[in-house]
Amino acid sequence: MSQTARLLLDSQCQLGEGPIWHPGRQQLFFFDINEQTLFAVTDKGEVVDSWLFNEIVSAAAIVDNDTLALLTDTGLKHFDIGTGGMNRINEIEADKPGTRGNDSRVHPSGAFWIGTMDRTEEEGPIGALYHYRAGELTTLKTGARVPNATCFSPDGKIAYWTDTPTKKIMQVATDPATGLPVGEWTVFADVSEGRGYPDGAVVDSEGYLWNAKWGGSCVVRHAPDGSIDRIVEVPVSQVTCPAFGGPDLKTLFITTAAKNLTDIQLASEKHAGSLFVVDLDIAGQPETLITL
């Protein structure tokens, strides 16, 4: 089965990333990492608000209807949606100016799995994967290049993750109550023969994983055994991350990127970096609130 996503918002982000649907506000929040900007939009593509920061912001978790937890250059911070005010929650690699946050997501237990990477993408595997819950930060992995595809099964018993250049999506058993790994990492899907590189991902209510393909112009739905179930075509090449939203969680929002494209490529991809959407017959999972 194949569908094609349509343009929702001509945002033309340099690096659109980190989309999450806030059910209490009925809004999608997503970032332009390179431009240090956070957007809030409706399911119709109307921009409700946007915020420009003086540091990189790359991911968000929902605290309540008025507050997000933002992953910034220096760690987790409370963000008041109404006032724009920020307060420190926990430092994460604040002593490493060469790294920045990347793909991150909240486990059904309320634990925030947080990825970091080399901000220049030239220094090699200096990133890491962390688990944050109730004030405690635990290192899960080191030596990562570009952490991505962080997502979880509906029952909280499986975590998925990739280091994008490896072209392998990994999985590990997790404790549903804490979100901590309880087993060994194994390969969920080797996508080295497929289109593009594995980027951001999300799991739907049926336990299938939707993975954006950087350089592949699509989002692929993988069955629980890793096989390809369906493909959503996206009319730009650098597809970064999907997120379920809308009133019934059956809308798939898709962020993309324009960075590093040549003038010729940009001429043929006029909406590179924009927000796309496709209507589905499958619901996603609501975002879990972070346990601070």
C-alpha span between 229 and 249 (Å, rounded): 19
Q: Which residue has the tokens 């080191």?
A: 142
CB-CB contact of 136 with 118 (8 Å)? no
Go through 243-271 and write b for each residue having 16 or more CB atoms within 10 A of its CB, e for each that does not.
Answer: bbbbeebbbbbbbbbbeebeeeeeeebeb
Angle at CA 240, nearest 5°, toward 237 and 243? 125
User: Closest by alpha carbon to 88, among 70, 62, 104?
Assistant: 70
Helix (H, G, I), strand (E, B) or coil at 179: coil
Look up 204 and say whether it is catalytic. Answer: no
Name the active-site residue from 64, 199, 204, 281. Answer: 199
C-alpha span between 93 and 188 (Å, rounded): 29
Helix (H, G, I), strand (E, B) or coil at 264: helix
Q: What is the CA radius of gyration of the chain?
A: 17
> Could you list the active site residues?
199
